[in-house]
Structures are given as C-alpha cells and as structure tokens.
C-alpha cells in the first residue's frame, strides 16, 4: 500500500510540483521502490525534455543511476546482518 | 557455530519487491511510446492534466495563505473586496472588447500548457500549433510584451518555445544606454549570463535588450562577478518576465531566430 502511494505521488508530483520536490520524493521512495527513479526519469523526460535545451535526457540518466544505486544498497543491506 | 548467509542473488531482483517499480516503468514506457508515435495526441491527452495542475496550484496557494495572521487577513480581505469590485468593472469592460482582442494583440496568442519549474528544462509547451499559423523561429512574448524565447518545434496543435535562459542557447543583444553588443548565454532556471570587458561602463540594474520590433528589454543585470585581476566580468541577468507564472504568450514572426542559436527538432 505504502509503495503504491509513493509511486502514485511521484508520478503526480512530476506534473504538479517543482522538479526539486519530485527529485526528493523519488530519492526517498527509491529505497522501497528501486525502479521508481528510472520510471519517473523516463516520464519526466517524456513530458518535458526538449533536445534544444539539453543535449542529454538528464532526468532519465539520473533516474537510471539512482535506480542502480538503490538496487546496490538494497542488495548490500539484505546480504548483511542489518537486513535480517 | 554461526554461519554467514549471503542472500545477494536472491535479493537483487526479487520479484516481490519491485512489482510497483515494474508497473511504474511499464506505465512510463507506454507514455513514452505514445508521445513518440503520436505527439499531438499525447499533448491533447495531457493538456487537461496540466490545466488541473494549474488550478490546483492556485487553490493550494490560497489555502496555505489562509493560515496567516487574523488581523492581516481581515485587512487583506477588505482590500481584496475593493479590488474585486474594481476587477468586476474591468472584466465588464474587457468582455465588451473581447471581440476585438485578436485585432488588438499582434501575432498569435497561445496558452501555456507546461512551464518551469515543474519542467527541469527551460522550455514552454504552448497549446497552439501549425494549424493556427505557428511556425518555427517565431518569437514568443509574455503578457507584458517582454520577449522570452523562440519557437523551436511545432506540431499541428502544439508548439514548444525554447527560452532565452535555456542552457546552450546563445542570443545576441545590447546592454545599457550605450548599446554595447553582448552575447547572452542561457544559464538555466530562468537566468542568463553574459561576459563583458571590465573596462565597459556597466552597472547592476542596467537593462539588456534584444532585437525585435525595435529594441526590446528582456532583463536586468542583478550581479556582476569577476576577480579583480581578471580583464573580464560575468554579468548575471534575470529576465523581466516571470517565466514561472506565464499563463499565455503571443507569438510573432520578428526574424529574431537569426539572432539566437537554437536547433529545431521534433516536439
């Protein structure tokens, strides 16, 4: 339920809130939904990215990086005694 | 004896843990495909969402403001009541003039669908496209006639304006009363920069102009940076137009695109 709410909020925030707030929300959510930053990155670039304003789709790239880091952190936590 | 248990390969892609993530990713890819293959349909579908977002922003601002000091609120309420009466009169007057608006406003008027700061990129999406005569290279002006950017891509019903403040955009302009030519660089977040010789007689508050129908002011110098040993200084420029609350713009073919370096691609 919590994960669903976070996912929904993150998508809504892309349209409703300034992008720094979306970034914070996605960062916080990434520990429980690791794929969310990548999904939100694609969604934000789908709506806002203009090749004239930036060479690379930054939101997607940063989202993918965050997803990778989130998966890595989760795998470390699970493998250690902290996650048991 | 305690045994160390490594659950790495079990946890890295555990299906139970990222089903919401997979759903989110699938949704994003679906939206991306829709935009890629049917961009006009995509913007038609999303325009009501952006309208609802604007309306929500206005309502939430009023709601948050209502938690202020009671006395202040009472005074403000009185003031707003008076303003309301004045606005009602003005509204009546404007309604009478409504028929002739298109003749009064030069160029094409277009609603803004998406703008910063929701967008991390300095661009506006407009609900006006080639069907009503929008073409690549048209200059966009805000409600007060301040130039804000250039149309860089056009669909049948929508178009995108790249703002002068977009990173990578360079614009030729002039500064101050002496009309010293400068190159203005987009710095992102609505801001612009320019480099200038230290010996030039430039001060904070000087106006920056770009070409259009005559010289049009686009912003002012808010700060001058540079070390004492450097022969040049960096001018920090803030636009005269409030890009974060622009509701509509007017588009005109002024030939200004030749003064701006911006590529044109699909919306």
Chain A residue nearest residue B36, CA to CA: A46
Half-sphere exposure of B137 (CA within 13 A, CB side): 8
Half-sphere exposure of B244 (CA within 13 A, CB side): 14
Q: Can you tell me the ipTM of this complex?
A: 0.86
A38 contacts B24 by C-beta, under 8 angstroms: no
Percent over 90 (pLDDT), chain B:
2
B15's tokens: 């299906």
CA gap A52, B262 in Å, rounded:
6
Burial class (CB in 10 A: 0-12, 13-18, 19+), A67: buried
Q: Do B168 and A40 touch (CB under 8 A)?
A: no
Q: Which of A36, A47, A64 to mutate to test the interface with B (most CBs of B within 10 A)?
A: A47
Q: Do A51 and B31 touch (CB under 8 A)?
A: no
B252 contacts B149 by C-beta, under 8 angstroms: no
Q: What is the pTM of this model?
A: 0.69
Chain A environment of B262 (Cβ under 8 Å): 52
The per-residue pLDDT for range B12-38, each reduced to its tens digit, is: 455 555 578 888 899 999 989 988 888
The alpha-helical segments, DSSP class H, found in chain A are 2-16, 19-29, 36-48, 58-79
Q: Give B239's strand partners.
A: B219
Q: Do B22 and A35 touch (CB under 8 A)?
A: yes
The per-residue pLDDT for range B70-128, each reduced to its tens digit, is: 777 777 788 888 888 888 887 777 776 655 555 555 688 888 888 877 777 888 888 88
Q: Which domains, from first to last, does chain B contain?
A: 21-65 (no CATH), 108-267 (2.40.10.340)
């Amino acid at each position: 339920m919590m994960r669903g709410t976070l996912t929904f909020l993150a998508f809504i925030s892309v349209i409703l809130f300034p992008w720094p707030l979306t970034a914070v929300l996605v960062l916080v959510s990434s520990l429980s939904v690791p794929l969310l930053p990548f999904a939100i990155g694609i969604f934000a670039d789908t709506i806002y990215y203009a090749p004239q304003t930036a060479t690379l789709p930054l939101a997607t790239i940063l989202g993918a990086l965050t997803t990778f880091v989130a998966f890595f952190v989760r795998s470390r936590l699970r493998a250690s005694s902290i996650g048991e | 004896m305690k045994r160390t248990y490594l659950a790495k390969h079990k946890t890295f892609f555990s299906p139970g843990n990222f089903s919401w993530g997979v759903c989110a990713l699938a949704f994003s890819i679906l939206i991306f495909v829709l935009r890629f293959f049917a961009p006009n349909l995509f913007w038609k579908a999303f325009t009501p969402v952006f309208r609802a977002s604007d309306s929500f922003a206005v309502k939430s601002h009023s709601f948050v403001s209502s938690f202020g000091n009671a006395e202040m609120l009472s005074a403000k309420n009185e003031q707003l009541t008076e303003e309301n009466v004045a606005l009602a009169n003005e509204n009546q007057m404007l309604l009478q003039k409504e028929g002739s608006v298109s003749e009064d406003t030069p160029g094409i008027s277009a609603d803004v669908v998406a703008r910063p700061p929701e967008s991390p990129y300095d661009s506006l999406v407009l609900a006006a496209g080639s069907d009503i005569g929008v073409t690549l290279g048209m200059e966009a002006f805000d409600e007060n006639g301040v130039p804000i950017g250039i149309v860089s891509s056009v669909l049948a019903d929508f178009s995108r304006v790249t703002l002068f403040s977009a990173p990578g955009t360079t614009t030729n302009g002039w500064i101050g009363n002496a009309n010293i030519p400068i190159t203005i660089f987009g710095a992102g977040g609505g801001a612009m920069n320019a480099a200038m010789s230290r010996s030039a007689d430039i001060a904070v508050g000087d106006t920056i102009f770009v070409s259009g129908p005559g010289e049009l002011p686009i912003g002012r110098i808010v700060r001058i940076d540079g070390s004492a040993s450097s022969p040049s200084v960096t001018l920090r420029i803030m636009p005269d137009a409030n890009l974060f609350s622009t509701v509509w713009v007017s588009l005109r073919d002024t030939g200004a695109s030749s003064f701006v370096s911006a590529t044109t691609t699909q919306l």
